[in-house]
Structure formats: C-alpha cells, structure tokens
Amino acid sequence: MCGIVAYSGSGDALPVILDGLKYLEYRGYDSAGVAILNDGRIETVRAVGKISALEQKLKKQTLKGRLGIGHTRWATHGHPSLENSHPHGTADGRIVAVHNGIIENFNVLKNQLLSEGIAFQSETDTEVLVALIGKYYAGDLEQAVRAALNEVTGTYALAVIARDRPDELVVAKKASPLCIGLGRGEVFAASDALAFIKHTNKAVYLKDGEIATLGPQGLVVKNLQGKKVSYKITELSLDPASIEKGEYPHYMLKEIYEQPRAVQDTLDGRISPQNDGALFAELEKHQEYLIGVNKIVIAACGTSWHAGLVAKYLLEKHARIPVEVDYAAEFRYRYPVLDEKTLVMTISQSGETADTIAAIGEAQALGARVLSIVNMPASTIARDSDMVVYTYAGREIGVASTKAFTTQLAVICLLTVYLGRLRSSMSEEYAAGMLQNLKRVPNEIAKIFGEVEHIKKIAGAFARHSNVLYLGRGVGFPIALEGALKLKEISYIHAEGYPAAEMKHGPIALIDENMPTVVLAFKGRRYEKILGNIMEVKARKGRLIAIASESNDDIDRVADEVIRIPDATESISAVLAVIPLQLLAYYIAVEKGCSVDQPRNLAKSVTVE
C-alpha cells in the first residue's frame, strides 16, 4: 500500500513522477505529494485526496528539476491530512523521503529523537525515519540511509534525496515492493514497474535489505552491512498499452470484459492434445512430492481466499484430497499443524499481500512445501514459493478483483485434474469430461455479456437498498461470498454471503421487502434445495434476484429477476456465475455514483499486516 516513484535524469522530473503516480494510484489515494530538487532547494507540494487534487495544486506552482520523488498514500500512521502526507523532510529541509511500509519501532525512535531536541510535524512513522537519516547525514547519503535502516525494525520501500546531492537518489527495500528502471541517461524507482514502463523495460528488482544508489556513477547496490552486491537486469514484457483504460469508463469494466481472453490465456498450453490431462511443466520435478501429499492447506486473503474455498470443493470432490482453507492472517498466527506431507497452497493476484507472504514463511518453517497460484511474475510470493503456477490475467488495476478471480478458478480446475490424475483418484474419462467443459468457459463467459442491459436495469432498481443477502450452496457458496464482497467494496452497500441452508439459522430474521437476496440457482445436485430456500425468502416478502442456468425454466415463477448463465456442470456454472455478480456490483456502484476503480479506504495490494 502506498506507491512511491522517483526519478533522476536529464529530463524534467515532475511530469514523469506525476504520470507514474497515476499508475500507482491503485495502491492508495488518501493523499499525494512530490518533492523536486532545483538549484540547491527541495520544493515539496502535497495534497489530501487523489492525485488529481495534487495536479490542481501544481497548476499554481511549477516545480522544475531533474531529480525528484513522489508518493500516493494509503494511511497507516495518522489520518489522511496534509501534515501526514508524503514526502516528509528533515526540519532543515536537507533530506526528503517517501516511504511505503511500516516502521514498527517508530515510537521508541521518536522518543529518542525528541529527547535530542528534534521536533515533528506529523504523526507518521516515515517522518521519524527521515529524521533519523538526517541525524546521520554528513555528506554521504547512502551511508546515512544505511545507518538509519540498521536501527529500524519494520518494512519499507524508501526513496531519499538530499539538498546537496543534486544527482543522487538512494532507495532501499525490505518486504515492500521496489523496482528500479534503467533508462538512457535516466533512472527510475517505483513500487511497481507500471510507473515507468513507458520509459524503459529494463528493470532491477531489489532484494530485501538492499540499498541502491542511483546517479551518474550508474547503479550501485549494497546490503545493510555496506557490502556491494550484484544485481540482475530483467527485461520486462509489460505492454504499456495494456495498462490503459481504452474505451472503457473504468478499469473494472475493462477487466470484466477481458475475462474470456484472460481465461483462455491461462488455459493455453495446459490441456494435453488428447484432452485427457492437465499439463504443468513447472510442477514436473515435484510430482513425487505431490503424489505423497496427504493434506492441502490453502492460505489467502479476500477474493483469492474465495478462490481457495472453490478449490476445497473441487479438490475434495474430484481429486479426493482433504483441503483446509484459512485466511492468511489467521493461518500465520494460529499454530497450524503441518508437516512435510502437507502442501500449503497460497493464492494471490498481486503476489505482494503481506499476510500471504508471512503465511508462506510460516508454512516453510514448519516443514511444508508451498505451491502458489500467482498473477504477478517477479512478485515476492512467486519468489518465495517452492512451486509457482501463474494465472495469465494480465495487469489488474481496478481495486475490485475480477479477471484475477476467474483465472484463479481456471487454474484450480486444471490443478484438480492434474492432481486427480497424478494421484490416480480420477479416471481418464472423468478428466477428459472436466477439461472439455473447461475449454468452453471463455466462450460461455462472452455469452453472458449479452445479459448486460438486463443487469443494468436490475442494478437501477436495486441500488437504493442498504443491505443485500447472497446465498449459494456447495461451490455456489464461495461465489455468493465473492458477489457480496464485490458489492460492498465498490458500492458501500452492506452485503453478506451465506450457504443457503444456513439462512434458517439466523440471517432469515433480516429478510423483509427492503432486504433483497441474490441466489445462485444454477444446475447441480442442490438445485431443488435452492428452490426451497428461494420459497422461504419469498414467503417473507423478500425481493429475489436469481442467477440461473438457461434451462432452469421453473425459476421464472419464483424469482423477481432472473439473470441467465449458459447450462454447464456445477463446477463450471460456479465460474460462470461470478460474471453477472461482478456486473451487478459494477452497475449498482455506477448508479450510486461511487468511485468504482478507487473505492474508499481500499488499496489494490495490501502490503501491510
């Protein structure tokens, strides 16, 4: 959370930094700021709110210079105010820095610095770190940053400039992402290469505990002991055009519509030519281990956790492996019982979610091996895991996860077949059937877009409600949870997902004409039971939207609104059913005038505990 950008080169720093910040706004948008060095002075401009507010301020005040840093904030220490906005500087203005992460011992350090007569303007941990760097600064910026970081516990991606070092940028990383971009006569540093990909595709990913000095002497990377270390230049294949919104009003809508392509890309090359097996070349050398596994524990957060719940249903039913699913933050602190025969599976779009990263460490420390399903290559989770299976959703920028989820489900279906066949718990015919159905998913998703006008109308009618219940049975239950999460995060309507049968054990008390219910009523062995639950809602005057399979005609008689998905098996229906739920949440949020891509209080990638 929080995004940082830094630039040093022959060009004008401000436009590059501002443009970069816009690409990082998904990381937080409570406030934003820039600091540019010019003629021996560092000028700082900050604004509360989104980057557009900062741009407005900068129209009245031009900052010129070739070295600068920028920040977009997701508040941790101190509310979103001007004083708490980054960049933060030392009282004498000699050193200025931007930071993403948390300095855990900031209180101890702050008290020490206060006792030495240093005053603070903000409530932030970052200002304490900057003051500490200032304390150690005697002309060698890298040395001062290193001295300060050696006293710090916590996490950081940090970019620092000094008034009397006009060509020098010092950056450091520990457990928060930081990437350096090497251009021609210019260098960049950012929380995400998205911020500079228009300028260069040559990137260096710093490792934890490394400090880099970027300047005329090139790039020098050291560890916290001051020893030079080698680095690797990676050529990024990210297409700058793929990160634009194009004709769409929001990234979320664009990403919903990208799902047929994203799922197809994720399936490509992973189904055997005879259609009877799933192919994962990346798992080949782990086959013996995977055969011997006696339990899978899945750890993830948010939407990725919902994908984990879907995996439990599929892996237990079709591959016959016991599966537990944990919130990553709970897993890491609950002393899980694991051993070398436990496969811990993590699922993450960003590959940078702090709790999921910590879960991997915990699992490995307890002797388990970790297989991660990740969308972002070169991410921490991809690096830390013993086995990695990528989803190919492409960049997901909207805060509400959409295409990442469906591609995770595609990988989970493939893994179910892969493990089922590997462990001889699934027949060739059964595998072939599942894979045949899976291959149809991209086309079937595209068909659901034909329902969009109908969904818009429903959204118009339901946007006024304050509470919505989502119900599903079996593999429909995690999809109900996901539908509820989508609605609450972008439209601020309170929504709850429940297994439909649980409704009678409490939530039914909430149902009246003001509490609509969304029911997943697709084909499968629980369909009749779901119809029963629908009747229970209707008997209490509840309004009802059903997501139903095309051939489920009887649903029209009981539901107020029906959104159709193509007929499919129960597992595939679950994948398809999430599409109308994403669209419903999207159009309700639009109807309410909400900030769809940047919902309040959220950030795309949750890099703090």
Binding to ligand M6R (CB under 6 A): which residues in 427-466?
none
Using the minimum distance from each CB to ligand M6R, give the nearer residue, 190 or 485. Answer: 485
Using the minimum distance from each CB to ligand M6R, give the nearer residue, 63 or 175. Answer: 175
Span from 193-201, 219-227, 350-358, 455-463 in contact with ligand M6R (CB under 6 A): 350-358
Using the minimum distance from each CB to ligand M6R, give the nearer residue, 154 or 177. Answer: 177
Q: Measured from the CB of residue 65, what is the shortest distance to ligand M6R in angstroms?
A: 35
Using the minimum distance from each CB to ligand M6R, give the nearer residue, 141 or 445. Answer: 445
301 classed as catalytic: no
Point out which residues pair with 48 in neighbouring strands: 31
Residue 353 engages ligand M6R in binding (rule: CB under 6 A):
yes
Site string for ligand M6R, 282-321 (x = CB under 6 A): -------------------xxxx-----------------
Size of the site for ligand M6R (CB under 6 A): 16
| Separation between Cα atoms, residue 123 and residue 517, nearest integer Å | 43
Site string for ligand M6R, 79-118 (x = CB under 6 A): ----------------------------------------
Q: Measured from the CB of residue 234, what is the shortest distance to ligand M6R in angstroms?
A: 21
Sequence-distant (6+) residues with CB within 8 A of 208 are 173, 174, 175
Q: Measured from the CB of residue 255, what is the shortest distance to ligand M6R in angstroms?
A: 11
| Separation between Cα atoms, residue 363 and residue 407, nearest integer Å | 25
Residue 607 engages ligand M6R in binding (rule: CB under 6 A):
no
State the amino acid at position 169 in one-letter form: L
Using the minimum distance from each CB to ligand M6R, give the nearer residue, 401 or 533. Answer: 401
Using the minimum distance from each CB to ligand M6R, give the nearer residue, 106 or 586. Answer: 586
- Note the residue count of the chain: 609
Radius of gyration over every alpha carbon of the chain, rounded to an integer in angstroms: 25
Q: Measured from the CB of residue 489, what is the shortest distance to ligand M6R in angstroms?
A: 6
DSSP symbol at 207: P
| Separation between Cα atoms, residue 286 and residue 534, nearest integer Å | 46
Q: Name the strand (E) or helix (H) holding 134.
A: helix 125-136
Q: Measured from the CB of residue 388, what is the shortest distance to ligand M6R in angstroms?
A: 14
Site string for ligand M6R, 319-348 (x = CB under 6 A): -----------------------------x
DSSP symbols for 495-506: EEEEEGGGGGGT
Residue 399 engages ligand M6R in binding (rule: CB under 6 A):
yes
Residue 391 engages ligand M6R in binding (rule: CB under 6 A):
no
2 classed as catalytic: yes
Residue 400 engages ligand M6R in binding (rule: CB under 6 A):
yes
Q: Measured from the CB of residue 312, what is the shortest distance to ligand M6R in angstroms?
A: 17
Span from 51-59, 167-175, 398-406, 508-516 in contact with ligand M6R (CB under 6 A): 398-406
The secondary structure of 544-567, three-state, reads EEEEEECCCHHHHHCCCEEEEECC
Q: Measured from the CB of residue 305, what is the shortest distance to ligand M6R in angstroms?
A: 7
Catalytic residue among 2, 179, 301, 594: 2
| Separation between Cα atoms, residue 366 and residue 596, nearest integer Å | 41
- The two tokens of residue 441 are 């998913």
- The two tokens of residue 294 are 């006696």
Q: Measured from the CB of residue 144, what is the shortest distance to ligand M6R in angstroms?
A: 34
Q: Measured from the CB of residue 356, what is the shortest distance to ligand M6R in angstroms?
A: 5
| Separation between Cα atoms, residue 490 and residue 477, nearest integer Å | 21
Residue 176 engages ligand M6R in binding (rule: CB under 6 A):
no
Measure the CA dihedral 47/51/52/58, to 10°: 60
| Separation between Cα atoms, residue 65 and residue 92, nearest integer Å | 20
Q: Is 326 helix (H, G, I), strand (E, B) or coil?
A: strand
| Separation between Cα atoms, residue 171 and residue 160, nearest integer Å | 6
Instruction: Give all strands of the β-sheet with 387-390 in edge-to-edge order.
Output: 323-327, 295-300, 342-348, 369-374, 387-390
Residue pointed to by tokens 């005057």: 541
Of positions 193, 605, 607, 608, contacts ligand M6R by CB under 6 A:
605
Sequence-distant (6+) residues with CB within 8 A of 482 are 303, 306, 405, 497, 578, 581
Residue 124 engages ligand M6R in binding (rule: CB under 6 A):
no
Using the minimum distance from each CB to ligand M6R, give the nearer residue, 353 or 491. Answer: 353
- The two tokens of residue 536 are 């229970």
Using the minimum distance from each CB to ligand M6R, give the nearer residue, 508 or 606. Answer: 606
| Separation between Cα atoms, residue 193 and residue 201, nearest integer Å | 8
Backbone angles phi, psi at 603, to 5 degrees: -140, 155
| Residue nearest ligand M6R, Cβ-based | 302
Q: Measured from the CB of residue 331, what is the shortest distance to ligand M6R in angstroms?
A: 13
Q: Measured from the CB of residue 396, what is the shortest distance to ligand M6R in angstroms?
A: 9
Residue 200 engages ligand M6R in binding (rule: CB under 6 A):
no
CA 176 to chain centre: 13
- The two tokens of residue 108 are 């101890």
Measured from the Cβ of residue 109, the count of other Cβ atoms closer than 10 Å reads 21
Sign of CA pseudo-dihedral 580, 581, 582, 584: positive
Q: Is 14 helix (H, G, I), strand (E, B) or coil?
A: helix
Catalytic residue among 135, 254, 523, 604: 604
Residue 356 engages ligand M6R in binding (rule: CB under 6 A):
yes
Of positions 175, 389, 606, 608, contacts ligand M6R by CB under 6 A:
606
Residue 573 engages ligand M6R in binding (rule: CB under 6 A):
no
| Separation between Cα atoms, residue 542 and residue 514, nearest integer Å | 7
Residue 349 engages ligand M6R in binding (rule: CB under 6 A):
yes
Binding to ligand M6R (CB under 6 A): which residues in 488-527?
489
Of positions 385, 401, 406, 571, contacts ligand M6R by CB under 6 A:
401
Active site (catalytic) residues: 2, 604
Residues near ligand M6R, by CB under 6 A: 301-304, 348-350, 353, 356, 399-401, 485, 489, 605-606
